[in-house]
Structure 1
Amino acid sequence: MASCLMTGRKIFKKLPFEVVDPKEDEKPKVNVYGPNGFVFVGPKRYLQPACYKEYGLDVYNFEARPDDVYVVGYPRSGTTLHSEMVWQIANDLDYEEAAKSYISHRFPHLDFSLFSRLPQMKEILEKKDVDEEALDIARKYLELSVDGLSQRKGRRFLKCHLPISLMPPHIFEVGAKVIYCARNPKDVLVSIIHVIRFFQSDRGPKPNIKNWFDDFKNDLGMYCPFFEQVLEAWERRNDKNFLFLFYEDTVRDKRQTIQKIAEFLGKKLSDDQIDGLKDYLSIEKFKNNKSVNCTQMVKLGLAKDTNLFIRRGRPGGWKELFDEEIEREFNELMDEKLKGTNLKFPEE
């Protein structure tokens, strides 16, 4: 382990935890990672795409800056909504500038290289029948490697789906701002089903809720174990530069969340500005906002359409898919996983 003379941070020559290939009997019922498969990472065995073996160390060694802002959370926990809220508050409600670029470019994923997307972007650039708009989108995505994000000028806004224990420890050492988004896992599971359909189109798994729940329960679902990740963040909820938010609270009272984030970032907003931002983030406008609704992935041919990424934006959708048996099993799972903690997920 070497030290960086400029910042004093530690540079890891290898990851301080294991990355393990799954055994034959550890295959999930629903394959969300496709032919490339997955690996288990760290002592809690977080499920990650297999390319973590190639890029995980780069992500872990990412050099943070004190003025960085991170929005973190398990997939489908409201990170897109909160990222746009954070970006607007920090950038003095610049709606015009936001409309000029996709949120995935101005508020990119720190863990983008783990999504297996970089090779896809290179393939798009090599095609001869791609229009200039798609080529420009792909070029900008190629800038989202760890090296590319490290070279970004000015204040950086970064999103991440990794658990705290797999994120670069330097983020917390330099005092960067971290906002964590949590959501009731019942709705998270339903939302994941829809987003996988969005990205995998008709080739993707059918929404057999029993199979999805079994994988989730057995920590073989995407980015599982879910409860371990949220509890890692919950333990930091009182840290100085850490803000823990529930998606349900934001949906119920956007004004309150806007005020919390503004205070956390050291910004002041008038009542009129808050009202304007609330209106801008309303679900109907958000669903039709091309800069946040993943329309670029449709343009690149990597997603089916736009009606499954930003959907309804309200809690309780699980009630339409869960039968009595799954609801009972899910409640038992939550009781087991949260026993001995004071973490309680909002129901509505």
Structure 2
Amino acid sequence: MTEAELYSVYKGVHVPTHLHPPESLKYCEEFTFRPDDILIVTYPKSGTTWMQEVVPLIVNEGDLTLVLTVPNWDRVPWLEEHRAAQLNLEQRPSPRIFATHFHHHMMNESYFKTKPRVLYVMRNPKDVFTSSYHYYGMASYLVNPGTPDEFMEKFLDGKIMFGSWFDHVKSWINAEEKESMLYIFYEEMITDLKGSVEKMAKFLGKSLSQDVMEKIADHCVFKNMKQNKMSNFSLVPEEYMDQKRSEFMRKGIAGDWKNLLTNAQEQRFNAAYKDKMKDVTFKFMWD
């Protein structure tokens, strides 16, 4: 199926119509935030699933019940997705935890007025590209990626789900409400997950013991989390996600782009990155 059949354009970016029908986007537009809400913000394939596991465990002080019994899309729903309107989120006790793939300018009026707490996760864009390439090949609601060369041009031009990675990252690192934001790198979670848990807990005002942080980090190591049926998307029917083609949670590593990109593709990507990020002074872990 084509872009026109599978995607709609909302606030200037492509969104998959199956996941984000007009009524879901309207719900998100009218959603009322609370100051103590926790919002996980990511560009797709940048660690959302990981954060949907880690953050509830921090908030619940290491109690595994929620993450082992409730699918991640219900325990930490995407506000713009069709499930959100069905979950009575207005009734949930504080602190509520949500996810979004929105760019900064796409957030609603209540967000800018209330300034909930934001955890913004970033990942090396070459790994985002690589993970996206495999994901697009197994999800029926996304346009077939074609060859890596074809998909790379779409990725670099932002003609894919949730638009340009470059625009997304720049919109959030330039956000004015930095006092209510914490920036996290996927790569630092791989390098030192316990340290990342500690950093997030501090930001969220949770005082956790070393044992609890150890327990959370151990549960959330990729290979352990991948076994959790409530998190690995194995509950999604095959007609939407064919995990025989590619697992939704594939490797969870840094540097997998080296297994996909040729030297020429790497050079093409590097040149585009250099051009699009030339005015950015923010220090990224992968630079």
TM-score by length of 1: 0.75
Partner amino acid, structure 1, of 2:270 = N
Does residue 210 (structure 1) correspond to residue 149 (structure 2)? The answer is yes
Deviation of the 1:35 alpha carbon: 2.2
Change (3 A) 1:331 1:206: closer
CA contact (8 A) 1:251 1:314 kept: yes
Change (3 A) 1:60 1:288: same
Correspondence for 2:14 among 47, 50, 53: 47
Deviation of the 1:222 alpha carbon: 1.9
Task: State the match for 1:200 in structure 2.
Answer: 140
More off after superposition, 262-271 vs 164-173: 164-173
CA contact (8 A) 2:25 2:81 kept: no
Unaligned runs of 5+ in 2: none
Correspondence for 1:316 among 238, 251, 255: 255
- Determine helix, strand or coil for the equivalent of 2:235: helix
Partner amino acid, structure 1, of 2:180 = N
Correspondence for 1:263 among 202, 225, 232: 202
Structure 2 CA distance for aligned equivalents of residues 314 and 48 of structure 1:
26
Structure 2 CA distance for aligned equivalents of residues 246 and 97 of structure 1:
25
Deviation of the 1:282 alpha carbon: 1.1
CA contact (8 A) 1:316 1:347 kept: no
Task: State the match for 2:174 in structure 1.
Answer: 235
Deviation of the 1:171 alpha carbon: 2.1
Unaligned runs of 5+ in 1: 1-29, 114-140
Cα-to-partner distance string for 1:277-309 (whole Å, 9 max, x where unaligned): 1110112111111111112213x7422227621
Residues 1-348 of structure 1 mapped to structure 2, 5 A cutoff: 31=2, 35-39=5-9, 41-42=10-11, 45-49=12-16, 55-113=24-82, 141=83, 144-145=84-85, 148-155=87-94, 156-200=96-140, 205=144, 208-236=147-175, 239-298=178-237, 301-305=239-243, 308-347=247-286
Aligned-residue Cα RMSD (Å) equals: 2.4
Change (3 A) 1:52 1:228: farther
- The percent identity for this pair of structures is 26
- Determine helix, strand or coil for the equivalent of 2:69: coil
- Determine helix, strand or coil for the equivalent of 1:251: helix
Change (3 A) 1:149 1:344: farther
Structure 2 CA distance for aligned equivalents of residues 53 and 193 of structure 1:
26
Partner amino acid, structure 2, of 1:228 = D
Larger radius of gyration: 1
More off after superposition, 231-240 vs 253-262: 231-240
Partner amino acid, structure 1, of 2:101 = H
Structure 1 CA distance for aligned equivalents of residues 54 and 168 of structure 2:
23
Structure 2 CA distance for aligned equivalents of residues 272 and 198 of structure 1:
39
Partner amino acid, structure 2, of 1:304 = D
More off after superposition, 104-113 vs 218-227: 218-227
- Determine helix, strand or coil for the equivalent of 1:178: strand
Cα-to-partner distance string for 1:81-111 (whole Å, 9 max, x where unaligned): 1221111000111113321111111111101
Task: State the match for 1:19 in structure 2.
Answer: none
Change (3 A) 1:210 1:345: farther
Structure 2 CA distance for aligned equivalents of residues 206 and 47 of structure 1:
15
Structure 1 CA distance for aligned equivalents of residues 117 and 179 of structure 2:
9
More off after superposition, 301-310 vs 209-218: 301-310
Structure 2 CA distance for aligned equivalents of residues 34 and 309 of structure 1:
24
Structure 1 CA distance for aligned equivalents of residues 285 and 259 of structure 2:
18
Structure 2 CA distance for aligned equivalents of residues 206 and 175 of structure 1:
36
Deviation of the 1:53 alpha carbon: 5.0
Structure 2 CA distance for aligned equivalents of residues 265 and 206 of structure 1:
38
Deviation of the 1:342 alpha carbon: 1.1
Change (3 A) 1:148 1:255: closer
